[in-house]
Amino acid sequence: MPGPSPATNSDINLNTTYAPAFIDRFARLVDQLPVPVWVFYLLLLVAGYLFFGAIRLLTGYQQSQTLTPAPALIWDVSILALHQYLDGYALRALASFNKTLGASDERLAQLGRRLTVLPLRLEVIGAVFWVLLALVLVWVQLGSFLEYFAPWEILISLTSFAIGGAFFVHIIYQLRLVSRIHASAANIDLFDPEPLYSFSRLTMRTAIGFVVLQYLVLLVLPGEIRISTVLIPVVSATGLAVV
């Protein structure tokens, strides 16, 4: 009995008329700025640090506490920067992999948009799911959270879980599409295997970036809530590995 036929380039849904996720709209805006992307995110981090410090000072924090980096700030800026970096690398990987696809310029552009732009509805699902998990986490350990953070800072932290959920769904969406694109390769040259490694490097960078992101947040989280706070991304990462 013949097995299932491999996926082809034409089997991949290239509809690009869907509403883009807000995280991708933000990235496109950053791309259009007259400064390098890394400069923008560095300035955003500094501005956020000053903002949190000023609000903490005005709301009665001790002076030493105002200088402590906010976990939500580190998480949000790091995620947005990592997301933008991975999308840029994904496009370069696709261009390299096209040697095995043989896609036209138009089709390559459509694949690139599908690869780097998450549909809005999927972003909403991921964001809502992570925020609901975060609400449960805060409710269970409300005393510990209030010991270290003011109510306004906890509310801002919930928005960081929304961004985290959107980013995580984006990773799943992107890597699943990478798998389909990889399966559609038709012009494999055994004497030039380099294009086949393009998406492997993207996957490696995604995994490393996610791990580094966790450690950055752990560095600034109080000890009592470190483990429980990272449960959401860790459990999600485990689910991603299964998927």
> Which pLDDT score is estimated for 84?
95
> Which pLDDT score is estimated for 186?
67
Q: How confident is the model at residue 8 (pLDDT cuts 50, 70, 90)?
A: very low
Of residues 183 and 124, more confidently modeled: 124
Query: Do 73 and 182 touch, CB atoms closer than 8 A?
Result: no
38-42, 78-82, 105-109 — which is least confidently predicted?
105-109
> Which pLDDT score is estimated for 91?
93
User: In the predicted model, is pLDDT for residue 126 greater than 70?
Assistant: yes
- Helix axis angle, 120-140 relative to 151-183, nearest 10°? 140
Of residues 178 and 87, more confidently modeled: 87
Q: How confident is the model at residue 1 (pLDDT cuts 50, 70, 90)?
A: very low
Q: Where are the domains of the chain?
A: 9-242
User: In the predicted model, is pLDDT for residue 29 greater than 60?
Assistant: yes
The string of pLDDT tens digits covering residues 52-71 is 888 888 877 665 566 677 77
The string of pLDDT tens digits covering residues 94-113 is 988 887 777 778 888 888 99
- What share of the chain has pLDDT > 70, as a percent? 75
**Mean per-residue pLDDT, 213-219:** 77
Rounded to whole angstroms, how far apart are CA atoms 94 and 114? Answer: 11
43-52, 139-148, 187-196 — which is least confidently predicted?
187-196
Q: What residues have CB less than 8 Å from 1, skipping those under 6 apart?
A: none
Query: Do 240 and 172 touch, CB atoms closer than 8 A?
Result: yes
Query: Do 40 and 97 touch, CB atoms closer than 8 A?
Result: no
> Which pLDDT score is estimated for 239?
53
> Which pLDDT score is estimated for 232?
57
Helix (H), strand (E) at residue 89: helix 71-101
Q: Mean pLDDT, the chain, as a whole number? A: 79
18-22, 25-29, 223-227 — which is least confidently predicted?
223-227
> Which pLDDT score is estimated for 213?
82
The string of pLDDT tens digits covering residues 173-196 is 999 998 888 777 666 655 556 666
In a 3-state reduction of DSSP, which class is residue 119? strand
